[in-house]
Amino acid sequence: MAKRVSVESTAEAYLELLASRGVDYFFGNAGTDFAPLIEAFAKRQTQGQHLPRPLTVPHETVAVAMAHGYTMVTGRPQVVMVHVIVGAANALAGVINAARCQVPMLFTAGRNPLTEAGLPGSRNRQIHWAQESFDQGGMMREWVKWDYELRNFVQLETVVDRALAITQAEPQGPVYLMLPREVLAEHHDHFEYSESSRAPQPAETVAAPDAVQRAADILAEARQPLLITKGAGRDPGAVAALVRLAESCGAAVVENSPTYMNFPQDHPLHAGFDAGPHLEAADAIVVVECDAPWFPALQQPRPEARLIQIGVDPLFTRYPIRGFGGDVSLAGAPRLTMAALADAVAARADQGAVSVRRDRWAELHRRRRESWLAAGKATAADAPLDMKWVSRCVADVLDDRTIVVNEYDLDHTQACFRTPGTYFGSPQSGGLGWGVGSALGVKLAKPDHTVICCVGDGSYMFGAPTAAHFVGRAHDLPVLYVVFNNRAWNAVKRAVQSHAPEGWTARTGHMPLSDLEPAPDYEMVCQASGGYGERVESPAELPAALQRALRAVRDEKRQALLNVVCKKPA
C-alpha cells in the first residue's frame, strides 16, 4: 500500500523510509556532510515522528562494531553513518570484519558536496575540496556486496530497499551507500512510498535431495566421521540441527576458533577446539561454516578421507585462495541442510556402530573436560594471574542470560557454553577493535541480559575505549569488561617464536614491537566515564571482584571494568 507523508527534505524522507523498514538504530559519527540529516532528526524528534534512534558514537571503530554486535544477536541490519572518505577509512577494518562474518549492515557515508556553488548544500567549508575522492566507493568495494551513490530523490525508495535486500540476502554482508549533501538537502513537501519493501527477498535455500543423499551415504558408511565448525551458530537455529547431525552418525564435533556458540560444549560428542588430534583417524569429515578447518602446511587428513562442505557459500567465493576440497558440497542454509542430512543419515546408518562411537567419544569427552578443569585449578594460586584461571573465574559467573563477547583471551577450555547465542568470538578476519564496541551493540539488543566482554589489553586499546565508555554512559549500556592484561601482544610474540624458535629474539630475550609497557591503569579509563573500575592482582580476589563488577552492571546499571594483571609472556 502506498503511503504519503509530508517531509521537508530528502534527508527526512530517508529517515521515514529507514524507520518503516525496521531499522532501529542509526550509529553516527558526524561531519559537515550530516547537516541536512541532523536537521531532519531534530525536526522528527521534536515532532515525535517515527525514526531510527540516532546514537552518537565518537569513533568509527566503535560505531561499526556496535552495529555488528547488534545484528549478530538480532539478525536485523542497522545503519552506520560516517563522515565522507576519512570516516570510512577509520571504519574499514570493522567493515572487513562484518564482511568476513557475513553480518548484514547498511554502511553509509556522506559524500562531499559536488558543486562549488549554486545548490542547497553546495561547498562552504575548507575541507569540501580536499575530502573528495575520484571513487569514494572504491576504498570499500572489495568488502561490501554492493555500493552506490544516491543520485536523486526519485530513486530513494528503490535504492534503500535494494541496499537492505542485498545486505540480507545470503551470503549476507555489508553494503555501502553514499549520500551527497546536495541530494540530502533538496527541499520537498511530501514523500510517497510503499509501506513495505517491494525488493525481492530471496528465501532460504537447501541443496538438491540427490546431493544430500550422496553426503548421507558417505557419513553412513564412515567408521570415523568428524565434524568441524567455526560459525554454524551464526544462525542459532542451526545448533539443534548440528546436534542431530552429530548424533545421527556418532560423529565428534570440533569447534575451530569458534565465532559463535555452535554446539553445546557439555554434549558428549563435543571434542574440543582442535581438530589436529582427530584428523588422522577421520575417514569422513564434514566442514560446516569453517573457512580454515586445518592448516595444510602442518597437517592433512588422510588422502582417502571423504570431505563434505556445508555452508551458505562453501566455496568461500570472496576468499582469493582456499584449497580445502569437497567430495560433496552443500550450499544453502546450514540449518536446513544439516536437518535434511541428519534425517538421511539416520535412515541408513548402522545404529549399533553409531552407539559404540558415541560411547567412545563420551568417555573421551569426560576425560578431556576433567583434564581441562584440573589444568585451570592448577593455576589458581598463580600471581600474576594465569589466563586459564581468569577464564575459569569468568566461566563460573556465566548463566543462560549472560552473553560473552570474546576478543582473544577467554580460554575456551575453561568455559562451557550450552545455549545458542551466548558466545561470540573474534571475527576470522581478526581486525582488532571489534570486541569493545560489539559488546555495546549486544547490550543494546539484549538489555535484559548481562554482557561480559573478555578482551586482551591490546584488543582493548584497539577498540577506541574512551569512545566506547562514553557510549556506555551516554546510552545506558552497562557492559562488564574484563581486560586480560598481560602487558604484551602475545599473538605477535608467539608468531616470532614459531617463526624463529632459536633465532635472535630467543637467544637475546629481546623482542621489539611486542610489549605494552608501561601499561595504563585501564580501570581508570572506565572510571572516567562514570564506570566501576578495579585492578585485580590477586588470584584469590578475582571471584569477589567479579561479583562487585556484576553488581555495578546489574544493580547500579553502570559499566564496569576489571583490569586483571596476568602473567606476561616471554
Ligand X SMILES: Cc1ncc(C[n+]2csc(CCOP(=O)(O)OP(=O)(O)O)c2C)c(N)n1
Tell me: does residue 259 bind ligand X (CB under 6 A).
no
User: Under rule CB under 6 A, how many of the chain's residues touch ligand X?
Assistant: 17
Helix (H) or strand (E) holding 551: helix 542-554
Is the CB of 389 or the CB of 462 nearer to ligand X?
462
- Please spell the DSSP secondary structure of 126-170, one letter per residue: THHHHT--S-TTHHHHTTSS-EEE---GGGHHHHHHHHHHHHHSS
- We find the least distance from the C-beta atom of residue 103 to ligand X, in angstroms, to be 17
Is the CB of 212 or the CB of 461 nearer to ligand X?
461
- The number of residues making up the chain comes to 570
Only segment of 51-59, 218-226, 259-267, 486-494 that touches ligand X (CB under 6 A):
486-494
Only segment of 125-133, 247-255, 424-432, 445-453 that touches ligand X (CB under 6 A):
424-432
- Which of these, 31, 188, 166, 175, lies nearest to 111 by C-alpha position? 31
- We find the least distance from the C-beta atom of residue 516 to ligand X, in angstroms, to be 7
- We find the least distance from the C-beta atom of residue 549 to ligand X, in angstroms, to be 19
Which triple of cell numbers denotes residue 470?
562514553
Tell me: does residue 60 bind ligand X (CB under 6 A).
no
* 78: Cβ contacts below 8 Å, ≥ 6 apart: 23, 24, 25, 26, 27, 52, 67, 70, 71, 105, 106
- We find the least distance from the C-beta atom of residue 514 to ligand X, in angstroms, to be 8
Q: Angle CA(458)–CA(230)–CA(106) in degrees, nearest 5?
A: 70
Region for 45 from its dihedrals, namely left if φ exceeds 0, alpha if ψ lies in -120 to 50, beta otherwise = alpha
Pick the binder of ligand X from 168, 248, 337, 486 (CB under 6 A).
486
Only segment of 7-15, 355-363, 426-434, 502-510 that touches ligand X (CB under 6 A):
426-434
- We find the least distance from the C-beta atom of residue 510 to ligand X, in angstroms, to be 18
- We find the least distance from the C-beta atom of residue 361 to ligand X, in angstroms, to be 31
- We find the least distance from the C-beta atom of residue 431 to ligand X, in angstroms, to be 5
Is the CB of 102 or the CB of 428 nearer to ligand X?
428
* 42: Cβ contacts below 8 Å, ≥ 6 apart: none
Which triple of cell numbers denotes residue 501?
624458535
Task: Residue 377: count other Cβ atoms within 10 Å of its Cβ.
Answer: 13
Amino acid at site 96: I
- We find the least distance from the C-beta atom of residue 142 to ligand X, in angstroms, to be 16
Tell me: does residue 89 bind ligand X (CB under 6 A).
no
Determine the Cα–Cα distance for residues 548 and 556; give it in Å rounded to an integer: 11
Determine the Cα–Cα distance for residues 530 and 538; give it in Å rounded to an integer: 25
- We find the least distance from the C-beta atom of residue 487 to ligand X, in angstroms, to be 8
Residue nearest to ligand X (CB): 456
Tell me: does residue 334 bind ligand X (CB under 6 A).
no
Tell me: does residue 522 bind ligand X (CB under 6 A).
no
Tell me: does residue 481 bind ligand X (CB under 6 A).
no
Tell me: does residue 391 bind ligand X (CB under 6 A).
no
Is the CB of 40 or the CB of 488 nearer to ligand X?
488
Pick the binder of ligand X from 66, 307, 488, 552 (CB under 6 A).
488
Matching residue, cell 574499514: 92
- We find the least distance from the C-beta atom of residue 85 to ligand X, in angstroms, to be 19
Is the CB of 397 or the CB of 519 nearer to ligand X?
519
Is the CB of 90 or the CB of 402 nearer to ligand X?
90
Determine the Cα–Cα distance for residues 356 and 478; give it in Å rounded to an integer: 48
- We find the least distance from the C-beta atom of residue 382 to ligand X, in angstroms, to be 16
Pairing of strands 174-180, 105-111: parallel
The DSSP letter of residue 54 is: E
Pick the binder of ligand X from 336, 432, 453, 464 (CB under 6 A).
432
- We find the least distance from the C-beta atom of residue 425 to ligand X, in angstroms, to be 13
Only segment of 106-114, 143-151, 439-447, 487-495 that touches ligand X (CB under 6 A):
487-495
- Please spell the DSSP secondary structure of 1-17, one letter per residue: -EEEEE-SBHHHHHHHH
Tell me: does residue 511 bind ligand X (CB under 6 A).
no
Tell me: does residue 549 bind ligand X (CB under 6 A).
no
Classify each residue of 213-232 as buried b or exposed e, where b means 16 or more C-beta atoms within 10 Å of its C-beta: bbbbebbbebebbbbbbbbb
Question: In the beta sheet, which residues pair with residue 287?
Answer: 228, 309
Tell me: does residue 248 bind ligand X (CB under 6 A).
no
Tell me: does residue 491 bind ligand X (CB under 6 A).
yes
- We find the least distance from the C-beta atom of residue 457 to ligand X, in angstroms, to be 5
Tell me: does residue 372 bind ligand X (CB under 6 A).
no
The answer to whether 549 and 532 have CB atoms below 8 angstroms apart is: yes
Is the CB of 26 or the CB of 522 nearer to ligand X?
522
Which triple of cell numbers denotes residue 38?
541532523
Per CB under 6 A, which of residues 439..468 are in contact with ligand X?
456-459, 462
Is the CB of 34 or the CB of 489 nearer to ligand X?
489
Which triple of cell numbers denotes residue 488?
604484551
Pick the binder of ligand X from 13, 30, 93, 453 (CB under 6 A).
93
Tell me: does residue 408 bind ligand X (CB under 6 A).
yes
Crossing angle of helices 465-474/60-74, nearest 10°?
60
Tell me: does residue 409 bind ligand X (CB under 6 A).
yes
Torsion of CA 173, 176, 177, 178, to 10 degrees: 170
The answer to whether 413 and 377 have CB atoms below 8 angstroms apart is: no
- We find the least distance from the C-beta atom of residue 426 to ligand X, in angstroms, to be 9
Is the CB of 131 or the CB of 256 nearer to ligand X?
256
Site for ligand X, rule CB under 6 A: 93, 408-409, 430-432, 456-459, 462, 486, 488-492
